[in-house]
Chain A
């Protein structure tokens, strides 16, 4: 990864829900120096949704190929894990990319608990 500016080098694929009614969690993501790329909402017409998912998937391929860390913030019980997971995995397979690691997002999680979970994933073995 080219490091010539303030970018953090970590990108999260997130459900649209995070931008609708959980902006508190979006702020936690930002506070932990992670950028987000948003998966299309489930209710969109299938052709629109497929196009957006393909663009997102190829962006992820490019990020990983350039050394960025990419994770999925996914919802356990939502269709497509909230991000169109099956479609993303299929597109990644076309480009030879294995599924990215995920952190499960509980829809009822508090910002504090979410911060702890995500921070732990980002830095699983922090120096004391």
Chain B
């Protein structure tokens, strides 16, 4: 880290508010403290991304796959929410901040490296009873629309990673160690592996 450099992490909404999660996916009561502590110890300020799923379908929403969210209406909703994020990132950068983004890997919306896919979900909401969605390489719809807006605006995409808390096999110790490594890597050196294979 450059001495005196200021850093801000834009984090997926649910890392600060597990109440926004779809039912059965909250892993703690409210704030995911290991994430906040890791950011604090690495000298980051925080900014919270809006939760597009919460704003679109509310806290009582059913489980959804990436394919179910992949509609023009939801993408347009995400683009509406993306504009303020772009404005905030620009404001931080204008003040000399290094900006990173921390998404939620495995999420159909907020995944940076992994997203939640299930081609056969739809109609009567009983598909989840036969098992959750599959984790596949790719970005969630929200992250895709954010990236698209940054690209159109000519604003460099922040260094980004995801924490796979939506994966039922998530290993918190290994996951947080990887996250700490990302936070302490130099700008331009620790970008998340490209996940375009799963992008549409």
Write the residues of chain A forming the contact surface with B, with a CB cutoff of 8 angstroms: 2, 4-11, 16, 19-21, 23, 26-27, 29-38, 40-41, 43-45, 48, 51-52, 55, 58-59, 62-63, 66, 68
Contacts and interface: CB of A to CB of B under 8 A. Distances in A.
B88 interface: yes
8 contacts: A7-B29, A8-B30, A10-B19, A23-B40, A26-B16, A36-B48, A38-B16, A55-B55
A59 B83 contact: no
A23 B46 CA distance: 8
Interface of B: 13, 16-21, 23-33, 36-37, 39-40, 45-48, 50-51, 54-55, 58-60, 80-81, 83-84, 87-88, 91
Contacts, number: 129
B20 to A, nearest CB: 7
Contact of A5 (B21, B36, B46, B84): B21
Contacts of A7: 18-19, 21, 26, 29-30
B19 A19 contact: no
Contacts of B20: 35, 37, 59
A6 B87 CA distance: 34
A40 B47 CA distance: 9
A71 to B, nearest CB: 12
Contact of A4 (B24, B47, B81): B24
B76 to A, nearest CB: 14
A5 B40 CA distance: 27
B29 A48 contact: no
A31 B87 CA distance: 31
B84 A58 contact: no
A45 B16 contact: no
Given A23-B39, A36-B17, 12 more contacts: A6-B18, A7-B26, A9-B19, A19-B47, A33-B29, A35-B29, A36-B30, A36-B31, A44-B88, A51-B80, A51-B84, A62-B59
